[in-house]
Structure 1
Amino acid sequence: MRTARRRPGVIVAVLVGIIGLIGAGTALANSPAAAQFAEQPLVYGTPCTVTAKACVDLDSRQSWLLQDGKIISGPVPVATGGPGHETPVGHSLRVYRKEQLHTSSEYRLTNGEGAPMPWATFFEDGGIAFHEGRTDTPSGGCVRLSRDNAIAWYNHLQIGDQVQVVRATQVHADRGLAPPPPPKQW
């Protein structure tokens, strides 16, 4: 009978990695943006604060346009990133570029051309944007909207405007609020 040989180096490496991940999570939770987010009141009916101009809830896959702490459009259905291509969470993302007829340099059509991303409003590094597209399947990380909604988001959001991408279940838990309705399934 063969006995298992212990590998202390592997165990130590795994423990160090876990501790590092816990520390990174704590650092993110204690970031200035997260602290400011926690101090601001939420816009009624959304999981985002009064400082946001656009709100995305990854749990319900919905988005809102906001102005002066009030909803001016939404909730509307959106597609967000699927496994391995998750839409990044952020409390103080900013619109940094807009392109009405953008094409992706990462995703290609079957003919080799870049996938269309009309009405693109970029708010996160790596080409993450609101743009027109299907809302019934996961995206590559962007927030896809119907054509009319993509145009409305494009027209409303200006360079420098704050975008918040959150998980309502986490926001509610962090604030001691009743949980939101259960997330939709794909």
Structure 2
Amino acid sequence: MSTTRSSRSPRPAIVVALVTAALALIGVGTALAGTPAAQAFREQPLVPGTPCTITASACVDLDSKQSWLFENGAISHGPVPVAIGGPGKETPIGHSLRVYRKEELHKSGEYTMTNGEPAPMPWSVFFQDGGIAFHEGRTDTPSAGCVRLTRENAITWYNALEIGDQVQVVSAQAVHAARG
């Protein structure tokens, strides 16, 4: 009897855990919508012609695959084309991400080139956990979550952004829908 009980006891716990995890994933959009950062985002005016607010220093629209730099609540550069993360490696959405590190000659610790060398990520400006950064790279193929810019634009973003600057990565469609 105790063998039967012990073999059955974990099943309800596993089912509850799986259902809870599934509901949590389904509710991520709703949960994020209620965060203080999301609320502050909704209360700030947008920079005209962009889906980001005047508090940002850099903006990425995942829908149009474009990025802008802002200064004093106005566009200082852009829009420019960017590559964003592809399926399974999406660029994370965030309303109040912050630049936390800059590295001119960064090499990936996760990805390698065909010769086994670490993949170069020149002009890296890191703004999200997991090594998500603006950096130079191809803009015609999906990234592994980073925001890739042409060399010229990567240098501009690197020089313009400072540690602590706010970065917003959003879906323009979702922003406009949420704002009516």
TM-score range, shorter chain: 0.7 to 0.9
Match of 1:40 in 2: 44
User: Is 1:145 paired with 2:149?
Assistant: yes
Q: How does 1:24-63 map to 2 (within 5 A)?
A: 24-63=28-67
Corresponding residue to 2:134 among 127, 130, 138: 130
Letter in 2 for 1:77: P
C-alpha distance in structure 1 between counterparts of 2:79 and 2:38, whole Å: 23
Amino acid at match of 2:90: E
Cα 1:97–1:13 shift into 2, 3 Å = closer
1:158 aligns with 2:162: yes
Q: CA deviation at 1:23?
A: 4.2
Return the offset for 1:17. Answer: 4.5
For 1:167-186, list aligned pairs within 5 A.
167-176=171-180
State the SS of the aligned residue for 1:115.
strand
Q: CA RMSD in A?
A: 1.8
> Residue 110 of structure 1: CA displacement?
1.1
Equivalent pairs, count: 169
Q: Tell me how far 1:20 sits from its aligned partner.
A: 3.1
3-state SS, counterpart of residue 111 of structure 1:
coil
**Whole-angstrom CA distance in 2 between matches of 1:135 and 1:169:** 21
1:70 paired residue among 71, 74, 79: 74
State percent identity of aligned pairs: 71
* Mean Cα deviation higher: 16-25 or 112-121: 16-25
Query: After the TM superposition, which of the residue ranges 49-58 and 21-30 deviates more from structure 2?
Result: 21-30
- 3-state DSSP of counterpart to 2:97: strand
Partner letter of residue 122 of structure 2?
Answer: P
Match of 2:107 in 1: 103
Q: Deviation of residue 12 (structure 1)? A: 7.2
Aligned-partner Cα distance in 2 for 1:125–1:39: 25
Q: Which runs of 4+ in 1 moved over 4 A?
A: 9-18
More helix by share: 2
* TM-score of the aligned structures, taking structure 2 as reference length: 0.88
> What SS does the aligned partner of 1:36 have?
helix
Distance in 1 (alpha carbons) for counterparts of 2:133 and 2:15: 41
Q: Structure 2, unaligned stretches of length 5 or more?
A: 1-11
